[in-house]
Structure 1
Amino acid sequence: MRTRTERRERLVPHTIDGETLMVVEEYTVEVPVPPKDWDHIVLTGALGVIAVVLAIVIVWSTASIGELLTRAISSSTIAYAAATGFSVGWVICMAFEWLNRYDPIRIRRPRTAGHVFLAADMAAVCVHGWVADSLKVGVIGALLSGGAKWLWTLALDHQAAPLNARTQQWVTIKRGEVGSRLALGAVRRQLTRAESRAAAEEAALRTAPGPRPDPEDEESDGPDATILPLPANAVTTKDAVRIAWDAGLREPDAIRRYVSQAQGRAAPPDTVNRYVRALKVGA
């Protein structure tokens, strides 16, 4: 059995002049070396080769389809940018296949979409070969894309260990429970935002100033600070002055005494005189 030497540290007691303290001591130990995991090494190497093949295929497809699209549009930048969508589409679908490798139901859609993107990519590469009078090269380029996809499918099948029926149901139930919690959290956040907006609108409506009522005893040309507010259902100063005027009173003092008697309080002389002058002008 192979071993390797490792340096480690430990605390040991050390006494000087009768005082003992714990100090660090280094020591060596021989530990066994585990055998190489050739399965992991081979898998890592295979995944590395697949990654390199995918990179080559993406570059080849982008170059072929981009050159084909430049025949239709003048901007080569736009053409090659659009060409990346063919290869990147099925590569992204492979990533979703990897994420859903333990769910045979959810993996179907990304796998189907990946095949559709792959078919479009291979068809575009073949069309480029046909347009460039080199159909054989186009077919070979299309087969490269198909081969890369097939290699990835083999690696995915190797990694996706099948689950028995009961374990698959357990995983599905737990995934549903966690998904429900995430969904309810998002819904609660939406409801909280909606409640906050509704509360803010209601508070704004409650605090909005209402229209200011015009005092009954003010002229149309504006408020008069000398006019005192009258209680509800009481005779206003203006009405009391008019009643006294219609009764034949013309002296301001007599009119003021009548208004004070009608309102039960002393009437402002300036207000009474102003209304009297208005009645005289109207007469």
Structure 2
Amino acid sequence: MKTRRQTRDRLVPHTIDGKTRMVPDSETVYLPVPPRDWDQIGINTVTGIVALALLGCMGFSTASIGDLLSRVTPAPAAYGAAALFDLAWIGCSIIEWLARYTPDRAGKARAGGYVALAVAMGAVASHGWIAGGVATGLVGAAASGLAKGLWAIVLDYQAAPLSRRDSAYFQQELSEAAVELARIPVRRRVNRARALVEGEQRALEADGPAAPELPEPAPEAPAVAPEPPDPNVHPLRGTVVFTRNAVQDAWDSGLRDPEQVLRYVRNATGKDVPQSSVERYLRALRVGA
């Protein structure tokens, strides 16, 4: 068995004066070499041949068709248009390869590639027939046919054959992935439309007359139930009533409770008379009595 030498770096413990550290060290190992994959080498070789054939075919077809078209159009435009003849069927062949897991879609690309190839071969044959005769035209057109045929054989060999069920399964997988991918632009368009509607509404509201701002209503004071009138209290009719006189009138009316006297005095004077003043006058009246 063939082997190949390989040097690897690794960390190993190394101790000096009782202190150990991990230091790098190299190690040489010999790994087995797998046998050559001649099948893959053959595929790579054929793929290279196909690439060279396509380049040669495209160069020859472009030169031939470009010379034919340059008889009636300027050379740059003629050769630019001539390159499209081969690029058309080459592009269809690439799409056919990409759609190898969906045979229905690959069939359309295959048919389009053969149609484009027939047009290119016809153009090359026409130039050869005009320039050198029928044989020259047929041989020149065969170059494109050989390149296309070789590529078709390579693609058909590398494409994995799928059963009907496998193909249906992969088509459903691709369909679900396509739906998820399609949601991105659709969601973007929906969000943009909603933003435009919202902006339109705000613009219309800003252009309209502004509504007058109403003052906030003052908080209502809590309702207090009125105290029932005291039958023993008679309000005094006068312009100015002093606290001492109001206490005297309450005393003469037979009121002795300080709370009742205080309410009477505040009602008579219309002031927030302190309770200490009322009690002082009441003490004086009790002492005199």
TM-score where L is the length of structure 2: 0.70
Shift of 1:209: 5.3
Partner of 1:201: 200
What one-letter code is carried by the residue in structure 2 that aligns with 1:44? Answer: N
Aligned to 1:247: none
Q: Distance in 2 between matches of 1:55 and 1:151?
A: 13
**C-alpha separation between the residues in 1 aligned to 2:12 and 2:153?**
55
Cα distance in 2, alignment partners of residues 124 and 210 from structure 1 = 73
Cα shift at 1:103: 1.6
Structure 1: give runs of 5+ residues left out of the alignment.
212-283
**Residues 217-236 of structure 1: pairs in structure 2 closer than 5 A:** none
* SS of residue matched to 2:105: coil
Q: What is the CA-CA distance between 1:17 and the residue it aligns to?
A: 2.1
Q: Which residue of 2 aligns with 1:251?
A: none
Match of 2:49 in 1: 49
Return the offset for 1:23. Answer: 1.4
Q: How far apart, in 2, do the equivalents of 1:206 and 1:72 lie?
A: 65
For 2:104 and 2:67, the matched residues in 1 are separated by: 38
Give the aligned partner of residue 183 of structure 2: 184
Give the letter aligned to residue 13 of structure 2: P
In structure 1, the residue corresponding to 2:194 is in which secondary structure?
helix
The corresponding residue for 1:61 is: 61
> 1:165 Cα deviation (Å)?
2.8
Distance in 2 between the 1:210 and 1:80 partners?
68
Report the secondary structure of 1:56's partner residue: helix
Q: Distance in 2 between matches of 1:210 and 1:83?
A: 68
Distance 1:133 1:30 in 2: 64
Cα distance in 1 for residues equivalent to 2:76 and 2:159? 39
> What does 1:33-182 align with in structure 2 at a 5 Å threshold?
33-73=33-73, 75-182=74-181
Amino acid at match of 1:16: I
| Partner in structure 1 of residue 32 of structure 2 | 32
1 CA distance for matches of 2:156 and 2:198? 54
Report deviation, 1:139: 1.0
Work out the CA distance in 1 between the residues paired with 2:125 and 2:48: 27
| Cα distance in 2, alignment partners of residues 132 and 98 from structure 1 | 36
Counterpart code for 1:23 = V
What secondary structure sits across from 2:23 in the alignment? strand
- What are structure 2's unaligned runs of at least 5 residues? 211-289
Q: How many residues align?
A: 210
Aligned to 1:20: 20
Task: Provide the aligned C-alpha RMSD in A.
Answer: 1.5
Q: Show CA shifts across 1:230-263 (max 9, x none).
A: xxxxxxxxxxxxxxxxxxxxxxxxxxxxxxxxxx
Deviation >3 Å, runs of 4+: none
**Cα distance in 1 between the residues matched to 2:130 and 2:164:** 51
Shift in Å at residue 35 of structure 1?
Answer: 0.8
Q: Which digits, 9 at most, give the CA deviation of each residue in 1:87-114, with x for residues without a partner?
A: 1000111110111112211101111110
SS at match of 2:88: helix
Q: CA separation in 2, counterparts of 1:83 and 1:210? A: 68
Letter in 2 for 1:172: Q
Larger radius of gyration: 2
Aligned match of 2:252: none
